[in-house]
Amino acid sequence: MQIRAELPADAQAIEQVTIQAFKDAPHSDHTEQFIVRALRAAGALALSLVAEIDGQIVGHVAVSTVTISDGSKDWFGLGPLSVLPEKQQQGIGSALMQAAIGTLRTQYAQGCVLLGEPYYYRRFGFRAVPSLVLPGVPAGYFQALSFAGSTPQGEVSYHRAFDARG
């Protein structure tokens, strides 16, 4: 498996991986592919990595900047994270997570937030922080990982592309 930066020719394969990854996800509104497409179109993908096996894209992770109401800078939102269903539980998602976190650290990011299953993301150091919230989301599922110093306090806003519906 190879983890690499997205290339322009990868967009359609990434969209298909994302659709398949979330097709049967119970907590999804099935707009993840539209979010990635809108982030790309807006030039808002701070980081976009693919996992490739034998020339086939089998996973993808998107990272974009977030705004925090306390004015904290250099924080990012990780997601969506997508792996083809038949390739899940083989370490692909973990490899994408580690690569994204590692890249953010080298780019002097202050930290990262995500919305997801606490049990899964805890292994990467993410945890719920009561003083950092995403409105309308159960607190335990919105998590943060600080790379330098303390965790900000306030409301987090994702890029407007997260409202994409088609």
What are the extents of the domains in the chain?
A: 2-163
Interval 21-79: pLDDT, tens: 999 887 778 899 999 999 999 999 999 999 999 999 999 999 999 999 999 999 999 99
Helix (H, G, I), strand (E, B) or coil at 86: helix
Q: Which residue has the tokens 């945890």?
A: 127
Residue 47: both structure tokens together: 């980081």
In angstroms, the CA 15 to CA 25 distance is 16
pTM of the predicted protein model: 0.94
In angstroms, the CA 36 to CA 45 distance is 8
Indicate the average pLDDT of the chain: 94
Q: What are phi and psi of 165, to 5 degrees?
A: -130, 10
Alpha carbon separation from 60 to 63, 64, 69, 95 (Å, rounded):
10, 14, 29, 10
The answer regarding whether domain 2-163 maps to CATH 3.40.630.30 reads yes
Residue 160 has pLDDT above 80, yes or no: yes
- The predicted structure's pLDDT at residue 165: 84
Residue 119 has pLDDT above 80, yes or no: yes
The residues pairing with 128 across neighbouring beta strands, listed in sequence order, are: 143
- The predicted structure's pLDDT at residue 53: 97
How many helices (H) and strands (E) would you count in the chain?
4, 10
